[in-house]
């Protein structure tokens, strides 16, 4: 059909916002109902990338003509592409919605409404998650109705959609009011609501009273039209909007939408069939197609979190003012968190949907192996999405708390380097990156310091209390224990009474020990220094040993040592880890030893009033632990510090085995005989001295005789534990005989030394060890001389 020029006489013109299109800038409506689409950039459609970067108009080009809506709609309300005898009186266009008055022959106009038809995407077509399902095709849905007078004006009651980045009605929530238009006629004001797909689903569920069996055809048609993923996402929108229902109608809607979600959402597949939507396709394994339930949940979740996901939470700006900016941010937090919490509530009610199944699950037992693996992979993915959902809710609660607490004041308690990174933090980085988590922890410490400055005891635990109640997934038990420890340590700073200060330090140690295997080296070092300043050296000792035990619960480090430390053994890692922890103990003991030996080293204003008693408590705390490897390392430290005399007063089950098996024989035996003599174990002391004199290497002859003589002295002493034994007498007789022979060997050695070089070798043999009488007989010729 040929059109005449009169068909293209322009009735009105409508500006297209930038958020709706970067290429189309103007829509002209003719009296015959044609819509002419213009761009003000030359060749905009052919050079789309260039058009997106240009700002100043350089042309006015007609790029598309849409035919008039029909006078009579078809049964399916699909526009028939062909002109009708339409005489447009007034019109409205914005973001895909077209309303116009058709002038009648009498005093009553008709109101024509048209909008882009929304339906399922063709297979394999990819769109961003938030705009999935919106397609600017040429098909329209239209309706026509009569008015009660002549139409004077048409307008939209709210311009909220102008602030959105995409006119995607299929992604809207049921809790968001639909678009509303008002038509002013000669007799009245008439309001129209534009029905969205989610509204259609809601009305279907209301009509069915929650019983989807009563109208299977309608629900099946709905899923076929929009696809399983989109339809399941809309089911979740309906469910979340009506959770906590107060009316029977809402309860029926929730029940029906839940059943629809699970029964029509399909099942995962391992086939290579094409996806009904490509959402999350990159996240799936090769050949794995998630169900509509899975993708619908992921899609709905992404739509909810999208407004905040990449927002810089603490970005510094002058406009608006920081207070106004954070007020706006908190308002957005409230809306998003409410929606996310409703979605989590649905997941918590339907735990089987995302909880990882056990091998005994009936769904797995009734499936073949391939299908069972597919089900497990989908559940694993859903479980991970559920954890992400929970952490997003908690992260929002955390940021909301920081803003309420005075975020700018909190920022004053962090380093300048961290401030730069914190200005770039988003919800995405907080929940998905290691750096984001680290910065979040810095903010917690800064908040604790901020509250600690007030010196109000009631406010010391406000941070950890909130994290425990509202952010338990974002900050785990180890995090909360660490922060409670920091709070108590800060409280100790401001304690007025010594008893209160000690109690706070003890409480801090309790919480730090709960998180000891979670602490970083930097955190442990800071805690150790803080405890040192507070005079709580016992705290460092206790914490370091607890950390070592938690990091090596199976005692692999000890096993490594007792296996003679083989090379390239994986247990070496645990051994080195424990030794690192023990170094904090040794550093602390060195500090208290120095203060004990030289009281002038005690810092001014220190909490340590008696360095000697303070050091004794620290050493007692270290020795009280039943950690065999630690005791071995501790005894070795005593030896390096030339403190073997201090060890003589120690009674532990590990001391004797250490000096018997883990040190040089001379050092060990020399220590052990003194250890036994101190405890009046003279018989054992004599035995150690005998072994030291007769079997040790590296001792001179005179030293051996000295040890042997000491053995005689100890053997002569009455041992209370062996007073009835004959062993003491026998040992004494034996030692006395050996002493006599040893003295003969000494005289022979001295004689040979005087003979000169010709007897040097013989003298050397006599110097190296003690000989018995039979061995000395070989040197008879020298004795005779």
For the chain, the domains span 5-194, 266-467, 680-784
Which pTM was predicted? 0.79
Q: How far apart are CA 308 and CA 391, in angstroms?
A: 14
CB atoms within 10 A of CB 453: 13
For residue 704 the two structure tokens come to: 């051996």
Between the alpha carbon of residue 486 and those of residues 142, 236, 422, the distances in Å are 65, 42, 21
Tell whether the model's pLDDT for residue 602 goes beyond 70: yes
For residue 120 the two structure tokens come to: 């399922």
Tell me which of 97 and 720 has the higher pLDDT.
97
Please say whether the beta carbons of 151 and 184 come within 8 A.
yes
For residue 91 the two structure tokens come to: 């019109």
Please say whether the beta carbons of 696 and 683 come within 8 A.
no
pLDDT at residue number 458: 54
CA 313 from centre of chain: 18
Q: How far apart are CA 93 and CA 693, in angstroms?
A: 109
Backbone phi, psi, residue 474, to 5° = -75, -35
Please say whether the beta carbons of 312 and 425 come within 8 A.
yes
Per-range mean pLDDT, top range of 40-49, 291-300, 606-615 = 291-300
**Residues present in the chain in total:** 785
In sign, the C-alpha dihedral spanning 206, 212, 217, 223 is positive
Q: Which of 407, 348, 357 is nearest to 379 (CA)?
A: 357
Between the alpha carbon of residue 262 and those of residues 229, 245, 291, 389, 628, the distances in Å are 12, 20, 10, 20, 58
Tell whether the model's pLDDT for residue 628 goes beyond 70: yes
- pLDDT tens for 447-485 read 998 887 765 555 678 899 999 999 999 999 999 999 999
Please say whether the beta carbons of 378 and 352 come within 8 A.
no
Q: Is 27 helix (H, G, I), strand (E, B) or coil?
A: strand
- pLDDT tens for 196-243 read 899 999 999 999 998 999 999 999 999 999 999 999 999 999 999 998
Please say whether the beta carbons of 312 and 422 come within 8 A.
no
Tell me which of 454 and 322 has the higher pLDDT.
322
The rounded mean pLDDT for the chain is 85
pLDDT at residue number 20: 81
pLDDT at residue number 783: 62
Q: How far apart are CA 432 and CA 423, in angstroms?
A: 17
Arithmetic mean of pLDDT, 7-30: 89
Angle between helices 248-264 and 292-309 (to 10 degrees): 120
Tell whether the model's pLDDT for residue 324 goes beyond 60: yes
Arithmetic mean of pLDDT, 384-402: 95
Tell me which of 413 and 83 has the higher pLDDT.
413
Please say whether the beta carbons of 48 and 119 come within 8 A.
no
**Helical H segments across 179-291, by residue range:** 197-207, 216-242, 248-264
Between the alpha carbon of residue 174 and those of residues 199, 204, 300, 304, 708, the distances in Å are 7, 14, 12, 12, 97
CATH fold of 266-467, please?
Answer: Methane Monooxygenase Hydroxylase; Chain G, domain 1 (1.20.58)
For residue 582 the two structure tokens come to: 């023990």
Place 48 in a pLDDT band, splitting at 50, 70 and 90: low
HEC readout, 343-387: HHHHHHHCHHHCCCCCCCCHHHHCCCHHHHHHHHHHHHHHHHHHH
- pLDDT tens for 697-716 read 888 899 999 999 999 999 99
Tell whether the model's pLDDT for residue 273 goes beyond 60: no
């Amino acid at each position: 059909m040929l059109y005449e020029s009169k068909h293209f006489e322009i009735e009105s013109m409508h500006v297209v916002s930038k958020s709706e299109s970067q290429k189309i800038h103007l829509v002209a409506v003719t009296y015959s109902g044609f819509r002419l689409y213009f761009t003000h950039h030359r060749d905009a459609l052919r050079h789309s990338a260039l058009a997106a970067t240009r700002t100043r108009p350089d042309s006015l080009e007609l790029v598309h003509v849409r035919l008039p809506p029909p006078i009579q709609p078809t049964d399916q309300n699909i526009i028939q592409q062909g002109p009708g005898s339409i005489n447009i009186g007034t019109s409205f266009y914005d973001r895909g919605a077209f309303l116009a008055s058709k002038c009648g022959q009498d005093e009553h106009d008709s109101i024509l409404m048209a909008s882009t038809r929304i339906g399922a995407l063709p297979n394999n077509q990819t769109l961003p998650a938030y705009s999935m399902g919106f397609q600017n095709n040429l098909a329209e849905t239209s309706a026509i109705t009569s008015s009660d007078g002549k139409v004077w004006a048409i307008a939209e009651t709210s311009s909220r959609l102008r602030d959105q980045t995409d006119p995607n009605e299929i992604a809207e929530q049921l809790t968001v009011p639909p678009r509303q238009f008002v038509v002013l006629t000669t007799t009245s004001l008439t309001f129209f609501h534009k029905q969205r797909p989610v509204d259609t689903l809601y009305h279907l569920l209301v009509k069915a009273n929650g019983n989807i069996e009563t109208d299977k055809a309608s629900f099946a048609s709905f899923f076929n039209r929009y696809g399983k993923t989109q339809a399941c996402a809309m089911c979740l929108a309906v469910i979340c909007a009506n959770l906590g229902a107060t009316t029977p109608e809402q309860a029926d809607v929730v029940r029906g939408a839940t059943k629809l979600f699970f029964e029509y959402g399909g099942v995962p597949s391992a086939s290579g069939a094409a996806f009904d939507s490509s959402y999350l396709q990159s996240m799936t394994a090769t050949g794995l197609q998630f169900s509509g339930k899975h993708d619908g949940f992921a899609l709905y979740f992404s739509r909810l979190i999208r407004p905040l996901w990449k927002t810089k939470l603490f970005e510094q700006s002058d406009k608006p003012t920081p207070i106004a900016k954070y007020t706006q941010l908190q308002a957005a937090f409230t809306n998003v968190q409410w929606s996310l919490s409703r979605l989590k509530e649905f997941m918590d009610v339907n735990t089987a949907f995302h909880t990882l199944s056990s091998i005994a699950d009936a769904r797995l037992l009734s499936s073949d192996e391939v299908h069972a693996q597919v089900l497990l992979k989908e559940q694993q993915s859903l479980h991970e999405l559920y954890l992400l959902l929970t952490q997003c809710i908690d992260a929002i609660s955390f940021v909301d708390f920081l803003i309420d607490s005075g975020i700018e004041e909190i920022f004053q308690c962090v380093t300048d380097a961290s401030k730069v990174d914190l200005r770039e933090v988003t919800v995405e980085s907080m929940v998905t990156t290691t750096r984001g988590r680290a910065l979040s922890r810095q903010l917690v410490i800064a908040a604790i310091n901020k509250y600690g400055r007030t010196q109000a005891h009631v406010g010391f635990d406000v941070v950890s209390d909130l994290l425990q109640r509202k952010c338990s997934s974002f900050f785990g038990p180890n995090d909360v224990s660490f922060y409670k420890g920091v709070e108590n340590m800060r409280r100790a700073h401001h304690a007025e009474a010594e008893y209160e200060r000690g109690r706070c330090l003890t409480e801090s140690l309790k919480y730090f020990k709960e998180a000891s295997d979670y602490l970083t080296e930097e955190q442990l070092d800071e805690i150790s220094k803080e405890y040192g300043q507070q005079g709580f050296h016992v705290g460092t000792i206790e914490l370091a040993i607890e950390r070592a035990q938690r990091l090596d619960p199976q005692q692999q480090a000890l096993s490594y040592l007792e296996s003679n430390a083989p090379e390239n053994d994986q247990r070496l890692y645990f051994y080195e880890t424990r030794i690192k922890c023990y170094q904090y103990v040794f550093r602390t003991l060195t500090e208290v030893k120095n203060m004990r030996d030289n009281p002038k080293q005690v810092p001014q204003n220190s909490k340590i009033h008696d360095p000697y008693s303070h050091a004794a408590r620290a050493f007692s705390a270290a020795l009280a632990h039943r950690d065999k490897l630690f005791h071995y390392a501790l005894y070795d430290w005593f030896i390096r510090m030339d403190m073997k005399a201090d060890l003589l007063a120690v009674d532990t089950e590990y001391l004797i085995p250490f000096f018997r098996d883990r040190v040089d024989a001379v050092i060990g035996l020399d220590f052990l005989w003194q250890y036994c003599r101190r405890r009046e174990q003279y018989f054992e002391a004599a035995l150690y001295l005998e072994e030291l004199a007769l079997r040790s290497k590296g001792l001179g002859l005179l030293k051996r005789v000295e040890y042997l003589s000491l053995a005689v002295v100890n053997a002569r002493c009455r041992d209370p534990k062996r007073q009835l034994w004959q062993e003491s007498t026998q040992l004494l007789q034996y030692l006395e005989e050996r002493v006599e022979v040893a003295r003969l060997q000494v005289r022979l050695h001295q004689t040979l030394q005087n003979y000169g070089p010709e007897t040097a070798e013989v003298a050397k043999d006599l110097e190296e060890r003690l000989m018995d009488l039979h061995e000395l007989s070989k040197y008879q010729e020298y004795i005779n001389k």
